[in-house]
Amino acid sequence: MSMRFSWARLWAVVLKEFIQMRRDRLTFAMMVGVPIIQLTLFGFAINTDPKHLPLAVVSAEHSPYARSLVRALENSGYFAAVAQPFTVAEADALVARGQVQFVLHIPEDFARKLLRGERPVVLLEADAADPAATSNALAALSQLQTSALAADLTGPLARLAPLPGPFELRLQRRYNPEGITQYNIVPGLMGVILTMTMIMMTSLGMTRELERGTMENLLAMPVQPLEVMVGKIAPYIGVGYVQVTVILLAARYVFGVPMLGSLALLLACVLVFILANLTVGITFSSLARTQTQAIQMSFFFFLPSILLSGFMFPYRGMPLWAQYLGEVLPLTHFLRIVRGILLKGNGWAEVWPHLWPLLLFMAAVLGLGLKRFRRTLD
Amino acid sequence: MNAAGEPLIEVTELTKRFGDQVVVDRLTMSVGAGEIFGFLGPNGSGKTTSIRMLCGLLTPDGGRGRCLGYDIRTESAAIKRQVGYMTQRFSFWEDLSIRENLEFVARLYGMKERRRLVDEALERLGLAERQQQLVGALSGGWKQRLALAACLLHRPRLLLLDEPTAGVDPKARRDFWDEIHRLAAAGIAILVSTHYMDEAERCTRLAYIAYGRLLAQGTPDELIAASGLTTWALEGPDSAALAAELRRLPAAEQVVAFGHTLYVSGADGAALATQLAPWLARPGVRGERRSTRLEDVFIHLMGQAPDNFR
């Protein structure tokens, strides 16, 4: 093949793809509709800090101290006392059925032992089957020990109040002091939505030509693999930016996500990320023989992207091998870039370590795609 | 070779396998400028595969060949620029308009004065008013005409047409073949595959391939002469019963009914005449020798072909 790359032929393919994309109304509507639906759905639905978890209180006495303890739990925001079973067996049944998440056992001589300074034992049982659902509530407990009875232990009882520790620990939650899930999820959704639509749409590109029989015509004409591949993905860059615009506007005006960094830098990084995903899609498209295969490949890539990138679960919580796997995925790096720019106000210097892996990924995948591009019908 | 000049297609021992099945078996042939070369053969005989190898869409497993002076293995890019290939299945973009399809093709070939070229093509096609219509909405005949126009847009020296008239009505077929002859007269070499005998008769030269093998090659007259077939036409009362009787004759290889006329042909002319004599003597039966038709030749050839599919 002694033919040079031609901008005119590339333009021909871009025009053709653009017209075809525009004619496919349903797909076009989905490309704009999907980000809006997913953003509203997940943006409002996902909450990694669940509150008002149902609590059953098994109390053998009704002293003001016991009541203070329950009130303190409720005031933390994490617990809501919904049941007062009389027996332990009843409480166990409630946990087993999932009707309550926690059971608080207050012993019968709680008040007496408390006043005698005998440090009565209070048991809190948690349904810890889902660690994420209970961990924040349980973390809030440690504070309660010192503060729960503060109002009751005054005057002569002040001697029972806990002593302050030998040093004071101050906690500062930076970038998201209130722990608002959306600040983390909404920028992440931008990456997830782009990954899904970009890969899915382009993965159908070549297989559609193959299934409709137009591939034979295309191959019989003097057009180069690189021209076809680049031409097929180019219109989707525009689609990607439409999605990003929709998501950024919603992030700002619906979810109130802070935007501390440079918008220009973000949009530049978005371009690299979009291109990385488009090359994955078009490469799947040259590997697959049918559109069904192409969709299957897309999902094969999409699931680890969601689960191992740090979008859903903390990246540092994964074993090292999984982290290495995550490092390969473009979404992992993009999440760090987008969260960094929006929430931390990161600049070029902080972004670059996550940008070059994207560029490397893109070059490698494009190379594979070109190598596997069908030049013949063999 | 009965065409003047250097051959535009020249292949030697071209072979293609799919798995362990030989689809094209040592095909050797040549096509010259201005020729209309007919490629005939039953379904699955390797016609499409041969054409695809000629324009670089499939890589041959054996043999060599030159198309327009370029090697079909290594210089397919150069071949693609000068060949117009019309695929068997309509392969233009149905979600593009007529004009958009033509423009796309013109752009890919880097044609200058694209707008004028496309305008002219639309004018010739008689589709100028419908140029904005989506191709998917066109009828079979119009799709075929559009495909031909698109293949000619870059002024190719060689046209490869793979069953171009399948599913097209007789009037459109005749117009299409008139156009083919005009193009050949203008110096374009044409290789066309077909099932239709009336189309075969309009070719200047024919090749018959079955089960991947070239069985015969030459002008229609040469092929008829080379077959050595003798044909008789018989007419009589109750032609169905007559046909059944004639089929039992050892020398009658084919007995075909056309209306009330039975065409009986065989390779051994003398034996056929002897064996037919008793029937010709029957009252009410009339018979005479006829010229053998191309179709009889091909059915004869097919019967002789070593069948490696059964």
Q: What SS3 string covers B169-183?
A: CHHHHHHHHHHHHHH
DSSP-assigned beta bridge partners for residue A56 = A83, A103
pLDDT in tens, B177-191: 999 999 999 989 999
**Residue-level pLDDT at B3:** 43
Q: How far apart are the CA of A290 and the nearest CA of chain B, in angstroms?
A: 17
Structure tokens at A248: 């950024």
CA separation for the pair B3, B196 (Å, rounded): 23
8-state DSSP, A164: P
Task: Answer yes or no: do A20 and B85 touch at CB < 8 A.
Answer: no
- Answer yes or no: are the C-beta atoms of A374 and A215 closer than 8 Å: yes
- Answer yes or no: are the C-beta atoms of B53 and B129 closer than 8 Å: no
**Residue-level pLDDT at A346:** 95
User: Quick one: pLDDT band at residue B159, thresholds 50, 70, 90?
Assistant: very high
Q: How far apart are the CA of B52 and the nearest CA of chain A, in angstroms?
A: 9
CA separation for the pair A280, B98 (Å, rounded): 32
User: Quick one: pLDDT band at residue B5, thresholds 50, 70, 90?
Assistant: low
The reply to whether A15 touches chain B by the CB within 8 Å rule is: yes
Q: Which segments in chain A show pLDDT lower than 70? A: 1-3
Secondary element (H or E) of residue B306: none
Size of interface A-B (CB pairs under 8 A): 77
What residues in A contact B93, CB-CB < 8 Å?
16, 20, 214
Task: Answer yes or no: do A216 and B58 touch at CB < 8 A.
Answer: no
What residues in A contact B55, CB-CB < 8 Å?
220
Task: Answer yes or no: do B57 and A220 touch at CB < 8 A.
Answer: yes
**Residue-level pLDDT at B84:** 95
The reply to whether A96 touches chain B by the CB within 8 Å rule is: no
Task: Answer yes or no: do A20 and B104 touch at CB < 8 A.
Answer: no
Q: Which residue of A has its CA nearest to B147?
A: A217
Structure tokens at A236: 């989707």
- Answer yes or no: are the C-beta atoms of B65 and B14 closer than 8 Å: yes
Secondary element (H or E) of residue B6: none
Cα A316–chain centre separation: 14
Q: How far apart are the CA of A218 and the nearest CA of chain B, in angstroms?
A: 9
Q: How far apart are the CA of A319 and the nearest CA of chain B, in angstroms?
A: 45
Q: What is the mean pLDDT of chain B?
A: 89
Task: Answer yes or no: do B58 and A213 touch at CB < 8 A.
Answer: no
The reply to whether B92 touches chain A by the CB within 8 Å rule is: yes
Task: Answer yes or no: do B95 and A3 touch at CB < 8 A.
Answer: no
- Flag whether pLDDT at B107 surpasses 90: yes
Instruction: Give the angle B103-B138-B107 at the CA atoms, nearest 5°.
Output: 10
Structure tokens at A154: 């005054």
Interface of A with B in 193-222 (CB under 8 A): 212-217, 219-222
**Residue-level pLDDT at B238:** 85
What residues in B contact A231, CB-CB < 8 Å?
none
Query: What sections of chain B are H helices per DSSP?
Result: 47-54, 76-82, 98-108, 114-125, 140-152, 170-185, 197-200, 220-227, 239-247, 269-280, 294-304
User: Quick one: pLDDT band at residue B308, thresholds 50, 70, 90?
Assistant: very low
The reply to whether A377 touches chain B by the CB within 8 Å rule is: yes
**Residue-level pLDDT at B307:** 52
CB-nearest partner of B85 from A9, A214, A220: A220
- Answer yes or no: are the C-beta atoms of A121 and A34 closer than 8 Å: no
The reply to whether A28 touches chain B by the CB within 8 Å rule is: no
What residues in A contact B58, CB-CB < 8 Å?
376-378
Task: Answer yes or no: do B93 and A222 touch at CB < 8 A.
Answer: no
Q: How far apart are the CA of A242 and the nearest CA of chain B, in angstroms?
A: 24
What residues in B contact A1, CB-CB < 8 Å?
76-77
Q: What is the pTM of this model?
A: 0.85
What residues in B contact A20, CB-CB < 8 Å?
93, 95-96
**Residue-level pLDDT at A10:** 96
What residues in A contact B61, CB-CB < 8 Å?
none
